[in-house]
A and B are shown apart, each in its own frame.
Chain A
């Protein structure tokens, strides 16, 4: 196997591979590798950790057909560091040689036969709008948990509603719900939980693409976008009952410009540590935002706002609050609340399709 390719092109494909490749499976070292296969001028890169697989195809200058498996992390780092624009990859015997200009690396290969077969969802793919789906993933995946001890919360629920599909994620501190009106990728009544990690990789793959497809199998889903394929196993878990967390009515509702609020929270994070809440004092025409971190300092910011309901002060984890304000679409945002110990809801004014629920942080003083 031998090919020559633009460094940037290969770097991009290999970084995705390195993120997917398992880095903790000592029992199956080949899983930490990227499978490279050259046929003519086409290079297919495959990576898997058995749960998540990504396959991408690149146009290269093929010199010799063949297959090699090599450490994804190593080759990704090597190619990125190469001094010249053109990189040559040449597999001979048990080694792979990566060269550019006068630099040359030689690294050992894994046996290609140890690399697992990638199973894809076998059903008919459904076309979906990559633009809308990508945006929805950006709004929802951020609320999923990365704590593998709480497996159900590491997933994103995709549930078919009448005339729409809902994407839902929660890490038990915040909850994001995005509705996709008119979406048809799930059959009537269907409900799946997709690992957040796979969807976050998918969001990167989607980038600026316009179209994509999704196929749903018994226990896996396959997405295809721009010549790359991502397959993930589905989580066999019971997703928490989330609907009861969302009230139909909140007594206090404050409306303010979204971007200035986002900037104010972002600024305040210079002083906010994980445990110091951002305090929002909401009054009739003002949101007063403050952070007081012992021994570090304090910050106060004021934003014009309109309040329906009673004046109220609520504390939030700054990261959770910032994630929510950032995910909401539109120029204006509303924050609805009941009291300082009940969840608050963030929505974009005029956007009925997304809400971000966030549980406050207790204020100690």
Chain B
């Protein structure tokens, strides 16, 4: 599977031979995910609304074009009507009607935008910090913090000419050692910042993408449907240096009870580790 530079023909041949879709993830995906929150579903709905409007308008415009291309060909004897030079009524019509269509698009878009901006009533605050090239998460209330780095097997496979077939790595480039554990059914508020350069925290299932800007804190919020327990994946979405493509995000959605238990255990483990480190430091000083 190693492709040396220069053998483009070999690459093409190998490529054509392996055009069968890989197993695991959904290949040939065409569309965005509706996601796991009410907001993500609104966003998906907006996307589909815009999409169908564009399809409809495209059919109309391209239809008009294709009609002319077929019917008014000189080779078929068409004679040009050079008197058709302007028509003010048409210009007004095809200015005003699109404005009305745009208003129809702008109203639901505005509604959804306002919704995404309102983080009131949140019950949990998590700080998200972007680093070159990993994410850090801190539960603000009790100080539990987690560093989330690209999983070891993905990291090994992605090295230049590693010889490891990415298809053998589960969730290649979308797996981390310590995911962000969050509760379903609870409004969670994220405080997003960065250590060094601008990163961007993006999880498509939540329809949240927020830039992590060093020296500033951006706010985002989500409330996951109670039945959407599981793992969801995202990636850094702002070029941040050489390993921008290698700092994924994984959220581990659990029921509120499971989440509370996990957090308690984490806190206990972390306190124990801190105490051990302190006594070790004392011992060696």
Is the A/B pair a real complex? no
